[in-house]
Amino acid sequence: MFASLVRFGSRTTYRGSRGSGAGSSSRTSAYSSPNSRPTFAKASQMGQTFKRSQRGLYDGKTLQSGHNVPKSRQKTARTWAPNVQSKKLWSDVLDTHVTARVTTSALRTIDKMGGLDYYLANTKDNKLGQWGIGLRDVLALRLRQLRLEGKKVGRNAPEPTTSA
């Protein structure tokens, strides 16, 4: 009696590629192979960038990839996107708010550096992306114009005085 229960009982151990699940069919095995598609790390090394990060301040964050692993240990591929917020950031040089898509880590870095202008001036190009580099160029042009006019901009700028 006990031998029949052991022999015909449910199988709870991992069976590999046999049975149902990813890789069980020859039709899906080519698509589910990790070698059939480049990972995000390989894509970034080859020069392919995370396109969405070029339209905001992502602080070098990209998509992360991995697996969901439930109790049955049947791994399924998944991705993690960066935590992106749409925020209005104050720029002293432009004297206006700039609406930007910003990751939360970029917001922390902006706070630590003392503002958007200092963040853009002191951050490397690969962390800024195309949008950030363009904004930095606009800030540099405006700062040059203000200096030619003789105005001071920044933390230590004196209040403008009006002569009556």
Residue 40's CATH number: 2.30.170.40
Q: Is the pLDDT of residue 33 over 70?
A: no
The CA-CA-CA angle for residues 107, 108, 111, to 5°, reads: 85
* Within a domain: 157: no
Average pLDDT score, the chain: 79
Q: In the prediction, which pLDDT does 159 show?
A: 56
Q: Is the pLDDT of residue 135 over 70?
A: yes
* Within a domain: 6: no
Q: 146 with 138: CB under 8 angstroms?
A: no
- Which two structure tokens, joined as six digits, stand for 58? 């992502």
- Domain of 79, in residue numbers: 36-151
- How far apart are alpha carbons 49 and 43 in whole angstroms? 7
Q: In the prediction, which pLDDT does 39 show?
A: 60
Q: How confident is the model at residue 53 (pLDDT cuts 50, 70, 90)?
A: confident
Q: In the prediction, which pLDDT does 153 show?
A: 75
Q: Is the pLDDT of residue 155 over 80?
A: no
Least confident range from 26-30, 65-69, 97-101, 111-115: namely 26-30
* Within a domain: 3: no
* Within a domain: 111: yes
- What's the 3-state SS for 102-151? EEHHHHHHHHHHCCHHHHHHHCCHHHHHHHHHHHHHHHHHHHHHHHHCCC
Q: In the prediction, which pLDDT does 92 show?
A: 94
64 backbone dihedrals φ, ψ, rounded to 5°? -110, 145
- How far apart are alpha carbons 59 and 104 in whole angstroms? 9
Q: How confident is the model at residue 164 (pLDDT cuts 50, 70, 90)?
A: very low
* Within a domain: 51: yes
The CA-CA-CA angle for residues 124, 127, 132, to 5°, reads: 85
Instruction: State how many domains the chain has.
Output: 1
* Within a domain: 1: no
- Which two structure tokens, joined as six digits, stand for 130? 């195309």
26 backbone dihedrals φ, ψ, rounded to 5°? -65, -20
Average pLDDT over residues 90-119: 96
- Which two structure tokens, joined as six digits, stand for 24? 């069980």
Average pLDDT over residues 30-34: 53
Query: Which of 49, 54, 44 minimizes the C-alpha distance to 84?
Result: 54
Q: In the prediction, which pLDDT does 56 show?
A: 93
Q: In the prediction, which pLDDT does 152 show?
A: 78
Q: 116 with 59: CB under 8 angstroms?
A: no
* Within a domain: 161: no
pTM for this entry: 0.65
Query: Which of 33, 93, 5, 103 minimizes the C-alpha distance to 63?
Result: 103
* Within a domain: 29: no
